[in-house]
Amino acid sequence: MSTRFDAVYMHIGHGKTGSSFLQSTLALSQDALARHEYAYPLAEDVAQKARKGFITGGNLRAKPGEFTTLVQSVPEGAGGKLLISAESLFRYLERNADSFLEEYQQVCAGVPLRILCYLRDPVDHAISAYHQKVKRSGYTKTMGDSLDQYQLPARTIAVLSALRAGGADVTVLNYSRHSKDLLESLAGWLDLPSGDLTTPNVGRVNRSLTNAELELQRLMNGHLGGQASRFVSDPLCNELPDIRSETPPLSRDALIGFLTRMRHEIATPEYQALVPETERPQVGEVADHIGRFPADSGQLTFTPEQLRVFVDSVSRVLLARESSDPEQPQRGGKGAGNRGGAGRGQGKGQGQGRGRGKGLGKGQGRGQGKGQGRRRQAVDPG
């Protein structure tokens, strides 16, 4: 298939290493990128969100065939270098590197594949990753539980070794070293002036949560799973991007166990062969980190603005649900019920609930005879 690109540049994350900021920058810099012969294809609705500093996930969905679709969507003459950014690619490549590389060869045979992967010091990343799991993945467990499941060094070995075995040119950078010059590190990889790139006009993109926001999201996850982000984290992070995040509580024993395990896994020959020493994550000692984790006071605090954003987000969904479903069952002390099976008195009409009304008789139940009963407000988790 097409080999019209001189090279494909692919930023794969991993997660919580500034990807949303970089993707907003790339969306704002499409014209500048084109002047440097980079094609950064992006659907317009996604581009608009990214330009506002909102969370998007980049310009490629990590699914079979999506790379082919993206390549085919690029118009002729759009640029000799294809640029892709999607942090979800890291997880996808962990499990599907061989099939992706096969697809790549079918679409871009002989075209150099250049990979940029950001890593991060493990304690910093584990905290941020916990926030992200609660924010976006419906996670309901504690920070300590999350540390027990943290397997990033092994996952890094799997992804980087597969890409290098497949002939990719892999660049590894440590976000913890480059967080203050993240734009410059990306521009250096692309070999273009950082001043040509436009950054989003927000303080932070895809910030982490305060402990009060985190607990609210975690509790909502228990009812709605990953869909709960639309009520809590998405609106709070998008509308209040400059609120400073907080670190959740963690026991000393849990921290000691995590540091010991990370020190061992990063020291393995396989890991050190893949990650340059200058970019290798630093583990640190207990004393370096224990002060970051607060005691659990049992108290959570929201600002008026946080409450306003949350209430607005819930209200929008409820009102949209109500307006889109005119047949939504009624409720009221004397009206038709809205749960259960058929009500009593179906001889002259149909009941709706556990017999709260007495059927629709000659009218529509006593709660509706003189006026419309109140609609039941229901959340649509979909």
The 10s digit of each residue's pLDDT in 271-323 is 999 999 999 999 999 999 999 999 988 999 999 999 999 999 999 988 988 88
Number of Cβ within a 10 Å radius of residue 95: 13
pLDDT tens, residue by residue, 99-143: 999 999 999 999 999 999 999 999 999 999 999 999 999 999 999
Given this model, what pLDDT does residue 378 score?
Answer: 32
Task: Report how far apart the first and last C-alpha atoms of the chain are (Å, whole number).
Answer: 38
Given this model, what pLDDT does residue 203 score?
Answer: 66
Given this model, what pLDDT does residue 339 score?
Answer: 37
Q: Residue 229 and residue 148: Cα distance in Å, rounded?
A: 24
Q: Residue 360 and residue 349: Cα distance in Å, rounded?
A: 5
For residues 219-243, average pLDDT: 94
The dihedrals phi and psi of 105, each to the nearest 5 degrees, come to: -65, -30
Given this model, what pLDDT does residue 331 score?
Answer: 41
- Between 87-101, 156-170, 211-225, 347-361, the lowest mean confidence (pLDDT) is in 347-361
Percentage of residues in the chain having pLDDT higher than 90: 76
Q: Residue 112 and residue 170: Cα distance in Å, rounded?
A: 11
Q: Which has more pLDDT, 368 or 186? A: 186
Q: How confident is the model at residue 92 (pLDDT cuts 50, 70, 90)?
A: very high
- Which tokens in the block code for residue 284? 């640190």
Q: How confident is the model at residue 78 (pLDDT cuts 50, 70, 90)?
A: confident
pLDDT tens, residue by residue, 326-373: 555 444 444 434 334 433 334 444 444 443 433 333 333 333 433 333
Given this model, what pLDDT does residue 374 score?
Answer: 36
Given this model, what pLDDT does residue 328 score?
Answer: 52
Residues 26, 40 contacting (CB under 8 angstroms): yes
Does the pLDDT of residue 185 top 70, yes or no? yes
Full 3-state SS string of the chain? CCCCCCEEEEECCCCCCCHHHHHHHHHHCHHHHHHCCEECCCCHHHHHHHHCCCCCCCCCCCCCCHHHHHHHHCCCCCCCEEEEECCHHHHHHHHHHHHHHHHHHHHCCCCCEEEEEEECCHHHHHHHHHHHHHHHCCCCCCHHHHHHCCCHHHHHHHHHHHHHHCCCEEEEEEHHHHHHHHHHHHHHHHCCCHHHCCCCCCCCCCCCCCHHHHHHHHHHHHHHHHHHHHCCHHHHHHHCCCCCCCCCCCCHHHHHHHHHHHHHHHCCHHHHHHCCHHHCCCCCCHHHHHHHCCCCCCCCCCCHHHHHHHHHHHHHHHHHHHHHCCCCCEECCCCCCCCCCCCCCCCCCCCCCCCCCCCCCCCCCCCCCCCCCEECCCCCCC
The verdict on pTM exceeding 0.95 is: no
